Amino acid sequence: MSSSLEIRNLRVAVAGKEIVQGITLTIRAGEKHALMGPNGSGKSTLSNALMGHPAYTILSGEILLNGEDIAKMPADERSRKGLFLAFQYPVAIPGVSVANFLRSAVKARVPKNVKDGDSEAMRGFRKTLKAAMDELSIDPAFATRYLNDGFSGGEKKRIEILQMAILKPSIAILDETDSGLDIDALRVVSDGINRVCGPETGVLLITHYQRLLNYVKPDFVHVLIHGRIVRSGGPELALELEAGGYESFGLAPDRAAGG
Ligand code: ADP
Ligand code: MG
């Protein structure tokens, strides 16, 4: 069966306030969906709720991964089932190297009763890591550096893509993976997304700006305003947004411009 993520009528509250106000969206393997919206429209709230962040309360609706309701599962279980979230603000973990972090992530997916030596994923880990780093043009020295500790914005985002390359999710949510990147870093990161997300992977690209979509071509574009998808369409919708701004989608000009 090919993979899918079905979001049905999802409403999410955070800090006692309803932010996501009824989102319905289906992402299938091989599809790239862009979710665009101004700051504060609820993009990260949606991605955190999809991944199972405990601070985000699902008020109603369903999240189905490959037909199975995952809305009550803890984040690690969702991850084992093939869901992946690249964070808007990746955290630093001083003391834990990139290689050890990724090894733990792979190990977490090996059934508890299987020894490392009997797991192909664990035995081949070094090789897989090296190959993925090569493919994403990440300096091998990063393997031994502490995770995100002193990394530039572009380096952090590249490590998120590396993590995705190693975990090979069936559905990947990328929350503003373009934010804070200069044009060269944007190209490198986009290239990484295109390499890693093949026909087996469905992608939800969350972005504030159209520019990422010049490099990672979406099949569908959705516009999120105040926690609701107000328009869905093809790639031309992103260009329309670029030309007219969020105002043309019913957002008050003061909100469209800033914060
Ligand atoms: P976006 O990612 O589209 O910029 P967010 O989902 O981050 O928007 O934020 C939407 C609203 O939810 C904002 O008003 C924000 O302050 C609020 N919010 C999001 N996460 C939290 C949180 N952990 N605690 C309190 N408020 C939050
Ligand atoms: Mg956000």
Average pLDDT over residues 6-28: 98
Q: Is 14 in the pocket of ligand 1 (CB under 6 A)?
A: yes
Residue 259 has pLDDT above 60, yes or no: no
CA end-to-end span of the chain: 42
**Could you tell me the distance, in angstroms and rounded to a whole number, from the CA of residue 258 to the centre of ligand 2?**
14
Kindly report the pTM of this predicted structure: 0.92
Residue 68 has pLDDT above 50, yes or no: yes
Any idea what the Cα angle at residue 199 is, between residues 85 and 189, rounded to 5°? Answer: 50
Between the alpha carbon of residue 236 and those of residues 82, 149, 232, 239, the distances in Å are: 30, 39, 10, 5
Set out the domains of the chain in order of their start, with CATH numbers.
Answer: 4-92+148-256 (3.40.50.300)
Phi and psi torsions of 73, nearest 5°: -80, 145
Between the alpha carbon of residue 259 and those of residues 176, 182, 238, 256, the distances in Å are: 15, 21, 20, 8
Average pLDDT over residues 99-104: 94
What percent of the chain has pLDDT above 70?
97
- Of the candidates 30, 38, 85, 71, which has an alpha carbon nearest to the alpha carbon of residue 230? 38
Q: What is the rounded average pLDDT for all residues in the chain?
A: 92
Residue whose CA is at the smallest distance from ligand 1 atom 25: 15
Ligand nearest to the Cα of 53, by number: 1
Ramachandran bin of 20, using left for φ above 0, alpha for ψ from -120 to 50, beta for the remaining angles: beta
- Of the candidates 248, 86, 242, which has an alpha carbon nearest to the alpha carbon of residue 164? 86
Which tens digit of pLDDT belongs to each residue from 109-125? 888 888 888 888 899 99
Which tens digit of pLDDT belongs to each residue from 158-176? 999 999 999 999 999 999 9
